[in-house]
Amino acid sequence: MLTVDQVAELLGTTVRFPRRLIVERRITFVKVGRHVRIPESAVADFIAANTVKPAVRRLRAVI
């Protein structure tokens, strides 16, 4: 379980970004009292779901 600060550091963003993901319910999180924790697997799933694969460019045949 990671804190919001740890997730921000892992993603290379400010703390505001993971907090926005939580508010928008775009990432799984757990509330422990008034503390918010994010499972490492949820961060990995978020990264995998938002990874854009490069497009394969096909060359046209010259006639």
- Every domain of the chain and the residues it spans: 4-49
Q: Closest by alpha carbon to 25, among 38, 15, 10, 7? A: 38
pTM: 0.78
Buried b (16+ CB within 10 A) or exposed e, 27-53: bebeeeeeebebeeebbeebeeeeeee
* Residue 63 confidence (pLDDT) above 80: no
Residue 61 pLDDT: 72
Give the confidence band of 59 by pLDDT, cuts at 50, 70, 90.
confident
Q: Are 27 and 43 in contact (CB under 8 A)?
A: yes
C-alpha angle with apex 11: 50 to 9, nearest 5 degrees? 165
- The predicted-structure confidence for 6-58, as pLDDT tens digits, reads as follows 999 999 999 999 999 999 999 999 999 999 999 999 999 999 999 998 888 87
Residue 47 pLDDT: 94
Q: How far is CA 35 from the centre of its chain?
A: 19
